[in-house]
Amino acid sequence: MVGTGRRAAGPGRWARRVLLWPAVVLGVPLLVALAPALFAAAAGIDLLTGPRRLRAIRLTAMALNYIVLEWVGLVAGAVLWVITAGGLLHRRRWSQRLHHLVQMWWARAVMAAAGRWLGARWRIDGGESTDRGPMIVAARHTSFFDAVVPSLVIGEHPDIHLRHVLKAELVWDPCLDLYGHRLPNHFVARASFQRAGELAAIGAMGADLGADAAIIFPEGTFRTQARADTVMRRLAQREPDRADRLTLRHLLPPQLGGLCALMAAAPEADLVFIAHRGFEPFGSFRSILANVPFQEPIEIKVWRVPAADVPADGTGRQALLDHWWQQMDDWIEEAG
């Protein structure tokens, strides 16, 4: 059975949809009409601050490209709402497939825009191993852009549908809100006190996975040195065995609750780990501004672990997940 995404917790749902979505649909054409003036202002900034890099022009082009993609995604969503009888047929497989195709197009178009305007390039090693499901995908998360890396890697195989565990704050992106709730994703409230309920919802998302892939970002947030020190200190206090086997220089220790919930719900699924190096400058607007255009290609590495090699007991699974997380960190260190 194909389900739809669990609605994100917290206030603002109708404020987003009644105020923000129409503002995007009506406002984007106006911004596009103002594009010549915006580019003229950006060119003036570049002349004063660094004409060779054209940073202001590049960022203006990227922002306009992004909001146009948002506009197209919302318009496509409205068309899909009509042809699915006002949403009554969202659960049908053909409807889910159409929504998935738009979602994948949007994600890959965002990355293509980053390549076109910001100079981002990438190389993928091991992507061919994602040609079949079911999969549980654990990926590094260190920037605004790398949340779409699994779509970039697995998108070559359109028959594999992706289900994501996403942070609740992303519902403020109109397209992620719309398609994230029409497809079987889960928006997790990271500060939620209802941990058991969140884990149950993640497990439900992984049920009936079939030939699809469930995506999760176990770090939960971007890494900073201060944050890493705090997390490792807490881990040493609460789980000293895990702290002893993790020597991480680039990653935060994985939060295993969501991963283990997915593994329990889909024991037949292989594990896929995705590491990358080069997205670090995309972690804040200031760092993007300082590094545009990007000179070094983004390296993406994929490993796949067969379900038959995954221990059945919880302790063994934790050790396996920590082993591969350390493997990812070691690869990043060597690639650097």
The per-residue pLDDT for range 111-150, each reduced to its tens digit, is: 999 999 998 889 999 999 999 989 999 999 888 778 889 9
Q: What pLDDT shows up at residue 5?
A: 54
The DSSP-derived string for 112-146 is HHHHHHH---EEEESGGGGSSS-EEEEE---SSSG
What six digits make up the tokens of 115? 């390549």
Residue 147 DSSP class:
G
**Angstrom distance (rounded) from CA 325 to CA 247:** 10
- How wide is the angle at C-alpha 33 spanned by C-alphas 31 and 38, nearest 5°? 65
Whose tokens are 């940073």? That residue is 55
Q: What pLDDT shows up at residue 302?
A: 97
- Which helix (H) or strand (E) segment holds residue 297: the answer is none
> What b-and-e string marks burial along 307-317, b requiring 16 or more CB atoms within 10 Å of the CB?
eeebeeeeeeb
Q: What pLDDT shows up at residue 318?
A: 93
Long-range contacts, 329-334 (Cβ 8 Å, 24+): 329/247, 329/248, 329/249, 329/250, 329/251, 329/275, 331/275, 331/301, 332/249, 332/250, 332/251, 332/275, 332/276, 332/277, 333/249, 333/250
User: Which residues does the chain have with pLDDT short of 70?
Assistant: 1-11, 190-194, 336
The per-residue pLDDT for range 73-95, each reduced to its tens digit, is: 999 999 999 999 998 998 898 99
